[in-house]
Amino acid sequence: MRGSLYAFTIPVYVILACFVSHPNQLLALSLGGAGGLSASFFQSRNSGGLTSSTAPADMASYSVAQKIVQLHDSKAVFDFCGGMMFQFVLSDKLRADLMSRTASQGQQPVIYDASTNRMSKIPKYTQSSFADDVNVFYGREVRKVSNASGGMGFVLQLVSCKDDPEGWSEQEIREYNGWAHDSGRRWRKASDHETEGNELYKSKFGPSAFGLHHRFYWHLDRQNGLWLSAEDGCEGVIRKW
């Protein structure tokens, strides 16, 4: 998976202030400028995307984690790798965990600033299979998903690193080398996941689905736009929600 930086100018006026101990970290979601979310994402909409049932009027009180859940609930589409449209999907366990992290309780996902434009620039970064559901997330790019939003059959799935039925298998953890080129890495079929104990992959994405597992993190660009980035450098912005 390889991508290039590109930008879409979408004005945003949403900033969640927060203090942090490290200058390269933002424990807040500062959204705006090129590649950013639209302010309408945080409001109820009458048709398409968020509805009154999934985007409460008091959504301004939602935490960073809870707003990431809304990307999942609205079937947001990320433009990855220069024009490849991936639906954003959370595992059931990770969705529940993020939704429980209110603004006053639960550690929020870290959104790194623009200077941290590669995972290797995260403080204390190591080439490993480490994840903590705060700074670094386990995930997968999944292909041949017939009902994926975006029309290309692609999904970006984030899963929990903590006893998630949809999480990485022991084999995925042991084999992981996401800093390397994807041509030298193992792509798994739905049947492979089933063999390794993840029966939900096939039921959720279909028997023809296959993909590659990555570690992901969140960061901003210099215009405060939000990016979801894989360890190998491929990244994208929200194109539709």
**What is d(CA 241, CA 227) in angstroms, rounded to the nearest whole number?**
15
Query: Domain spans of the chain?
Result: 14-240
Structure tokens at 59: 């959504």
Looking at this protein, which amino acid is placed at residue 148? A
Q: Where are the beta strands (DSSP E) in 134-234?
A: 137-143, 154-159, 188-189, 210-220, 226-230
**Which residue numbers in the chain have pLDDT < 70?**
1-61
Angle between helices 92-100 and 64-73 (to 10 degrees): 140
Is there a contact between 208 and 218 (Cβ–Cβ < 8 Å)?
Answer: no
**What is d(CA 230, CA 120) in angstroms, rounded to the nearest whole number?**
11
3-state secondary structure of 150: coil
Is there a contact between 230 and 65 (Cβ–Cβ < 8 Å)?
Answer: no
What is the pLDDT at residue 1?
55
Give the tens place of pLDDT for each residue, 56-79: 445 566 788 998 999 999 999 999
Is there a contact between 156 and 89 (Cβ–Cβ < 8 Å)?
Answer: yes
Q: Which residue has the tokens 């994840």?
A: 131
What is the pLDDT at residue 184?
87
What is the pLDDT at residue 5?
32
Closest CA relative to residue 150, chosen from 94, 91, 79, 81: 79
Of all residues in the chain, the percent with pLDDT exceeding 70 is 75
Q: C-alpha dihedral over 93, 98, 99, 103, to 10 degrees?
A: 160
Give the tens place of pLDDT for each residue, 123-158: 999 999 999 999 999 999 999 999 999 999 999 999
The phi, psi pair for 187, rounded to 5°, reads -95, 130
